[in-house]
Amino acid sequence: MLASAHREGERERWFTLHAAYAPVPPPAPAPRGDAYRWSRWLSLIPSSFRPRLSPVRLVAICNHKGGVGKTTTVMNLAAALARRGRRVLLLDIDPQACLTVHLGFELGEGTSIYQVLTGGMPLREAVRTTAEPNLALVPSDLELAGAEMELASAIGRESLLKDALHGYLEEEPYDYVLIDCPPSLGLLTINALCAVREIFIPLQTEFLALRGMGRLVEVVTLIRRRLNPLLRVTGIIPTLYRSGTLLAREVTEEIKRHFGSYVFTTKIRNNVRLAEAPSHGKSIFAYAADSLGAQDYERLAQEVEAMPAAATKPITHIHASHEDPAAPEEPAAPEVA
């Protein structure tokens, strides 16, 4: 019993001495809120991939069918947004360079998007100011017609425009970037679709307008699945609308029946002033501010401003009756969350 009591006494003294000389534990860290966790998360991501707190609207104006008013829409929608105080950057990646000519620039003068894509030139070297306030342009060049062959063996050729554009936007903030795509679904158009989050499709209000749309939607779905999960078709713009004709009304109703809420309420009416403005190197607002074309694009800009950026469900298919009969039917691709 004495030995047991002795051992208990020794144990108590040991715990007493240990408690007296044990190091004081550090104070518990203060609770950290969402701002700290957000900053820590951002610090682990390369700057070129970090989300912007005030994201720029990146929009490609795309339709592989020519003559639908695509360049006219890019030019005058940008001018309408610029008139509303928004900073807008235009990229002309169409080898025909219609947008560059529309803004009054001579082809072959200075750096163009061709040098950016094929020569690794920084995009800021190609940006030019225009006569329109708040509006800048990266011009095209006729040499861009051979760019697809030159870039055929380039590594990461689908992301060349994305890398150049997103790097420039880290230095120079814009509210909108609008890209005028060529009337094809080649490498230049794919570069544009990899660089943006939204697509506006100008659609002529005529009988053959919907033919071939299935191929465009198929390409967009494929790019979403493999290269750019943020890509969305967020707007269908009825163009070359001949008011007062039964055909235009019927085609417009057919477009709305198949695309629903994607179709803008504003219809761009057929207007001779819109056709005359490019020859003067001016937007419709600088050339004929009181014309029907100016009224239409002003209303379209109001709709674009009011819509949430890339917040709609993606289009993955259209009605089979409007598919290109030569294109094989394939099941719609699954949506990417």
Domain extent at residue 280: 52-322
* Percent with pLDDT over 70 in the chain: 75
The more confidently predicted of residues 82 and 337 is 82
Provide the pLDDT for residue 259.
Answer: 85
From the number of C-beta atoms within 10 Å of its C-beta (0-12, 13-18, 19+), residue 249 rates as middle
Provide the pLDDT for residue 319.
Answer: 47
Provide the pLDDT for residue 255.
Answer: 85
- The pLDDT-based confidence of 109 (bands split at 50, 70, 90) is confident
Provide the pLDDT for residue 276.
Answer: 94
- The pLDDT-based confidence of 332 (bands split at 50, 70, 90) is very low
Q: Is it the case that residue 328 has pLDDT exceeding 60?
A: no
Provide the pLDDT for residue 325.
Answer: 35
For residues 47 and 170, what is the distance between their CA atoms, to the nearest angstrom? 8
- The pLDDT-based confidence of 320 (bands split at 50, 70, 90) is very low
Helix (H, G, I), strand (E, B) or coil at 9: helix
Position 42 in a domain: no
192-212 pLDDT, tens digit per residue, is 999 999 999 999 888 777 777
Q: Which two tokens stand for residue 293?
A: 């074309």
Q: Is it the case that residue 98 has pLDDT exceeding 50?
A: yes
Do residues 262 and 234 make contact, with C-beta atoms less than 8 angstroms apart?
yes
- CATH number of the domain residue 165 falls in: 3.40.50.300
Position 63 in a domain: yes
**Mean pLDDT in residue range 71-90:** 96
Provide the pLDDT for residue 33.
Answer: 54
Provide the pLDDT for residue 310.
Answer: 47
Q: Is it the case that residue 32 has pLDDT exceeding 90?
A: no
Q: What residue type is assigned to position 15 of the chain? A: F
Position 21 in a domain: no
Provide the pLDDT for residue 89.
Answer: 97
- The pLDDT-based confidence of 175 (bands split at 50, 70, 90) is very high
Provide the pLDDT for residue 265.
Answer: 93
Q: Is it the case that residue 155 has pLDDT exceeding 60?
A: yes
Position 332 in a domain: no
The length of the chain in residues reads 337
Provide the pLDDT for residue 314.
Answer: 54
Provide the pLDDT for residue 311.
Answer: 47
Position 92 in a domain: yes
Provide the pLDDT for residue 245.
Answer: 87
**Mean pLDDT in residue range 114-123:** 92
DSSP string across 261-293: GGB-S---B--HHHHHGGGGT--HHHH-TTSHH
- For residue 233, give the H/E element and its range: strand 232-239
**Mean pLDDT in residue range 218-243:** 92
Do residues 222 and 52 make contact, with C-beta atoms less than 8 angstroms apart?
no
**Mean pLDDT in residue range 170-199:** 94
Helix (H, G, I), strand (E, B) or coil at 167: helix
Provide the pLDDT for residue 169.
Answer: 94
Q: Is it the case that residue 144 has pLDDT exceeding 50?
A: yes
- The pLDDT-based confidence of 223 (bands split at 50, 70, 90) is very high
pTM, rounded to two decimals: 0.76
Position 46 in a domain: no
- For all residues of the chain together, what is the average pLDDT? 81
DSSP string across 13-76: HHHHHHHHHSPPPPPPPPP--HHHHHHHHHHTS-GGGPPPSS--EEEEE--SSSSSSHHHHHHH
For residues 284 and 80, what is the distance between their CA atoms, to the nearest angstrom? 9
- The pLDDT-based confidence of 1 (bands split at 50, 70, 90) is low
**Mean pLDDT in residue range 120-144:** 93
Q: Which two tokens stand for residue 87?
A: 């900073």
Number of separate domains in the chain = 1
Provide the pLDDT for residue 251.
Answer: 87
Position 16 in a domain: no
Position 140 in a domain: yes
